[in-house]
Homo-oligomer: A and B are copies of this chain.
Amino acid sequence: MKKKPAPLPEETALILALSRRFGPPPPEVVLGIGDDCAAIALDGGRCLLWTVDTLVEGVHFNLSYTPMEKLGWKALAVNLSDIAAMGGEARYALLSLAWPKARDRAQALKLAEGMAQAAREYVVAVIGGDTVAAPEVAVTVTVTGVVAASQMLRRAGARAGDRIYVTGPLGESAAGLEVLLRGLALEPNLQAALTQAHLQPRPQLRAGRVLAQKGLATSAIDLSDGVATDLAHVCRESGVGARIPAAHVPVSPRVKAAAPALRQDPLDLALKGGEDYQLLFTCPPDKAGALRAAFARAGLPEPLALGEIVPGEGVVLITARGEEDISGQGFDHFRVDLGEEEN
C-alpha cells in the first residue's frame, strides 16, 4: 500500500520560496541554495564551501538541560557537519552571538570555551564575529572550508541501484533529547552516552574526506533532521527514490536498550528523530568492498547499509505491515516545537 509522496517539509518549502526571490547565482557559484553548503569555484580547481546555521534557545535547545560549553561545541559542530557532507576540509568560523542583557556574561565565555574546544578538535579557527543583545540566547555560526571541485560530494547524484549507508548507528541524539526533556534516569553509562550524543555531536569530517578523496559516494548529506527528511532531500535532488527495509535500519543498540524507559519506538527515533550528525551517502554496489577497505584503512567504523536507491521518488520504509512513504517525516522546525514543555 504505497502512499503518494509526502509534501515538502515546511522548512524546505520556505527555503525554496526564499531562493526564488534571490534569482539564479552567477556562474562561478557551483552550488547555491539547496545543498548543505554553498560552493564557489576558486582558482586551482578548488571550491570554497560556505555554510551558516543558527541554534535558538527554546527551539533547538533549552538551557535547563544544556551546559553552555556543550552549546558552544554544538553550534560549531553542526556547521562542520555541513562541510563534512560536502567532503570538505573546514577552515574558519565566525560567531554571531545573541545574548540576553540580564544573563551573566561569564556564561558566554563558557560557550566560547566549548566552541574553542571543538575548534581545536577539528582544526578550525574562529576568527571573528559579532555580539548582539536579544530576548533569548541564539548562536549563529558560519564556517568556510575547501574541497577539490572534482571531489565535492552533493545531495544530487544518487542512482538507482546504489546502496544507502550511514557512518554510524542512528537514534542516539533523539533518545538523548527525550531523556533530557523528560528528566529520565537510565542506567548511568547509557544515560551519559545518549545525552552526550545529543549535546556534543561529532561531525564526520574524516569520513567525508575519505568518501571525497576516493570517489566512493554518488551523493551525501548530513543527518540533521533525520533519515526520513534528509534522505528525501537526496532523493528529490537526485531524481530517484529509496527503499529501506525496517530490519536493515542500524538502530543504535543503546536506543533499543533505552526504548522501554522512553516509551518510544526505536525505529522512529532512528529514522525521524534527527540530529545524529552522521553522514548518509550512496555508493554503487561494485564499490562496496573498496568502501569498507577505505574506511578500515582510515581507522573509521564500518559504514552501515540502510537500503537501496530505486527509480521513482520518495523514501519508502518496508515493514511487516507493508510499505509507507516516510519522506519529510523527520524534524521540521516549523512543525515541531522542542521547547513547548518549557514555555
Contact = CB atoms under 8 A, between A and B. Distances in A.
B95 A128 contact: no
A135 interface: yes
A248 interface: no
B128 A53 contact: no
5 contacts: A29-B92, A50-B92, A52-B129, A52-B130, A52-B142
A248 to B, nearest CB: 31
B43 A43 contact: yes
Interface stretch (A33-41, A150-158, A164-172, A286-294): A33-41
A197 interface: no
Given A101-B337, A119-B22, A37 B128 contact: yes
A21 B129 CA distance: 13
B115 A51 contact: no
A135 B133 contact: no
Interface string A1-39: 000000000010011011001110110010111110110
Contacts of A132: 54-56, 59-60, 333
A33 B135 contact: no
Contacts of A95: 18, 52
A140 interface: yes
A139 to B, nearest CB: 10
Contacts of A55: 132
A18 B134 contact: no
Contacts of A144: 50
A35 B43 CA distance: 27
Given A21-B112, A22-B116, A337-B101, A14 B94 contact: no
Given A21-B109, A96-B140, A109-B21, A333 B131 contact: yes
A126 interface: yes
